[in-house]
Amino acid sequence: MKSSRSRSRSKSNRNRSQGNQGGNVVNRVFDSSGPEGKVRGTPQQIIEKYNQLARDAQLSNDRVAAENFQQHAEHYTRMLSEAQREIEARREEQDRQNRERQAERDRERAERQEREANQATEQQAAQPQGDAPVAEGDSNLVETPESQPKPKRQPRRKPRPKPEAVNEDPPGGDDAPKAAE
């Protein structure tokens, strides 16, 4: 049976390791403890909520509360803009790496094509020089009748059935006079 102590330890390790990842701040849900209680949501939602609370405080002529709400909104605005800068920096770094990888692939492709062209030139130079150049599909083998393609045979047709006589009796039937005996 496992002790609760080991489970507790692994759970806290998990929480710590997740905290080091940084996470996606733009879509992460925060609990903000403001002067009016907790405000929960993504940074953008929290900013909008604090701005609305600041407008309400200004309408009720409470300048201190309005300034307080604006400061809270400004805090989340800074967090959001910093997260977006980091995201943009990562995206630019990935784009740069992708361009470098593509350039390397292009160089390798060009080198491979150059090697193949050099090999083809070397093969042509290595071929014996005779009366006529040997074409790509030709060989020095002698043509025999067995190597010739066979002509296509016409499919055999079934013979047509002969029309059968309607009357199986000899012509004239039983009514015909018989030859003299």
pLDDT along the chain (181 residues), means of 10: 50 47 73 82 92 95 94 93 92 95 95 91 76 59 74 74 62 55 47
Q: What is the pLDDT of residue 177?
A: 56
CA–CA dist 50, 56 (Å, integer): 10
DSSP bridge pairs for 149: none
How high is the pLDDT of residue 143?
77
| Per-residue confidence (pLDDT) for residue 51, from 0 to 100 | 95
- Which pLDDT score, from 0 to 100, does residue 62 have? 94
Phi, psi of 28 (to 5 degrees): -70, 145
Is residue 42 within 8 Å of residue 30, measured between CB atoms?
yes
DSSP string across the chain: ---HHHHHHHHHHHHHHHHHH---TTT--EEEEETTEEEEE-HHHHHHHHHHHHHHHHHTT-HHHHHHHHHHHHHHHHHHHHHHHHHHHHHHHHHHHHHHHHHHHHHHHHHHHHHHHHHHHHHHHHS---SSPPPTT--SPPP-GGGSPPPPPPPPPPPPPPPPPS--SPTTTTTSPPPP-
pTM beyond 0.95, yes or no? no
Query: 174: buried, middle or exposed (CB in 10 Å: 19+, 13-18, 0-12)?
Result: exposed
